[in-house]
Amino acid sequence: MGESDAARSFSVSVALAENAGVGAPRTARPIAARLAGLWVIVLFSNFPVYVGEFVFPEIVPLHWLVVLFALTAVRLIGADRNARDRAPIFLAALVCYACVCLAWYVAQGGGEPVVLRQRLLGLAVCGASYMVFAASAAALQAARHALVYMVLFCVVLNIWDITHPGMLVPITSEFATPGRAAGLFINPNQAGAALVTGFTLSVSVVPRRWRFAYLAAVAIGVGLTFSRGAILGLALVSIVLAYGRQTLSLRQIAAALVIVSALTWIAWLIASSELQERFNIDPEVALDRVLWILDPTGRSDFSQEERFEVLERGWEQFLASPLVGNGVGSTELWEARASTHNMYVMLASDFGLIGLLAFPSIVLAAMGSRVTAFGDAFVAALFLLFWGLFSHNILSEYYLLITISMIAALSRRESEAARHGRALGGRPRGGGGP
C-alpha cells in the first residue's frame, strides 16, 4: 500500500514485458538504469556548466557530453532491439528542427556558427538521452528516482546559496544575483524552472504519504529563487496534478502551503535584518518580486521593463519578415543584453511562421498521440509550454532538454501502463490508496 502509483504501473509494465519474453536480458537492465541515472545526475545538476564557468574553465560542457554520448552509443550497440520503445514522431520532430536550422543557416549565407552548433548539440542531447530513457521501463524509473534526489539536492543548494551569498557564485561575477538563490544553475530563473520540471516528473515515484513534504521542499527551493515565472509554474502544476489524476491531493497542497508559510515567516523574522546588514541585500526588493504576482502592472521593475522591450523588438523583427524570418540567431546576436525571453518569439524571428510553431511542435511530438490526460508527462509538457513565455533557452539548457526527452519516454510508458491496467481490471492511477 505504501508503493507509489507510478511504481505500481511500471511494475505491471515490466512484468508484462518479461512474461511475454520481450525486453533486454536481466544483466543489461541494470546498465541501462545506471546510465539513465547518470544522465540525470550530470545534466540536471547543471554541474558541467558550473564547473566550466567557475572551477575548471578548461573542462567545458562538451567534454562531459562526449563521455555521455560514448557510453550511450556503447549501450545502444549492445541492446536488444525488442526492448526499445521508441517514438518515431518525436525523433522525426527533432530531425526536422535540425534540418530547418541547417537550411536557414545555409540560405542566409552562413553566420555565427556558435549559435548553430549550440542548437544542434542541444538536439543531440535530447535525442541521445531519450534513447536511454526509452531503453526500458526500468531505465525510465531509475531516471525518475535519480530526479528525486537531484531535486532535493538543488533545494539544499538553494538554501545554502541564499544564506551564504557569494560562496557558489562570486559577488564580483557578472552572473551574481545577491538576494536570490541559484545554486549550481547560476541563474535563479533556471534554478526555479529546474525544480518545477524535476518535481513534476518525479513526484509520482515518491510515496504518497511523503508528497506533501516533497512539495513543501520544492516550494521553498523555488521561492528562494524569487523567480516569478517559476513560482507561478509550480502553482500551476500543483493544481493540475491535484485536479487531473490526483497525483497530489488538495489536502497535501494545503499542508505544504502551511509549512512553507510558517517557515518563511520564521526565516523572515530571523534572517532579513542580517541579510541587509552583512550583504547589503534589501529584503523588501525580494518581497516585491513575489508581490508582483498579485499586481503585475503596479509593480513594474527593470527586469520586467527589459523583458517587454526585447520581446517587442523580437516581435517587430518577426512582423518585418513573417514568412522566412531573419535567420538563425537573429535575436541572440543583436546588441541588446539578452534575447527575447520568449521561446516562441525568438524562433519566430529566426524562421518566420515555421519558427512560431517549432517549439510547441517538439513538445507535442514528445507528448505523442497517446498521451495520458493529466498524467505526469502531460503536466510537465504543459509547464514547458508555459515556461516558453518566460525563457528563450529551453532548447539549449541541458536540464530542460532531458526534461523533453523524459516526457517523450514517460508519455509512451504511461499510455502503455494505462492500457495494461484496463486489460487486467486494474484501477486507474490516483484512485484510492494511502
Range of the domain at 277: 5-423
pLDDT digits (tens, 9 = 90+) for 256-306: 999 988 887 777 677 666 666 655 555 566 666 666 655 555 555 557 778
In a domain, 205, yes or no: yes
Predicted confidence band of residue 418 (pLDDT cuts 50, 70, 90): low
Predicted confidence band of residue 430 (pLDDT cuts 50, 70, 90): very low
In a domain, 375, yes or no: yes
The domain total for the chain is 1
What is residue 321's three-state secondary structure? coil
Print burial letters for 63-92: b (CB count within 10 Å at least 16), e (below 16). ebbeebeebbeebbeebeeebebebeebbe
In a domain, 156, yes or no: yes
Question: What pLDDT was estimated at residue 179?
Answer: 78
> Residue 334, exposed/middle/buried by CB under 10 A (0-12, 13-18, 19+)?
middle
In a domain, 430, yes or no: no
In a domain, 362, yes or no: yes
In a domain, 431, yes or no: no
In a domain, 281, yes or no: yes
Predicted confidence band of residue 11 (pLDDT cuts 50, 70, 90): very low
Place of cell 541515472: 37
In a domain, 434, yes or no: no
Question: What pLDDT was estimated at residue 433?
Answer: 35
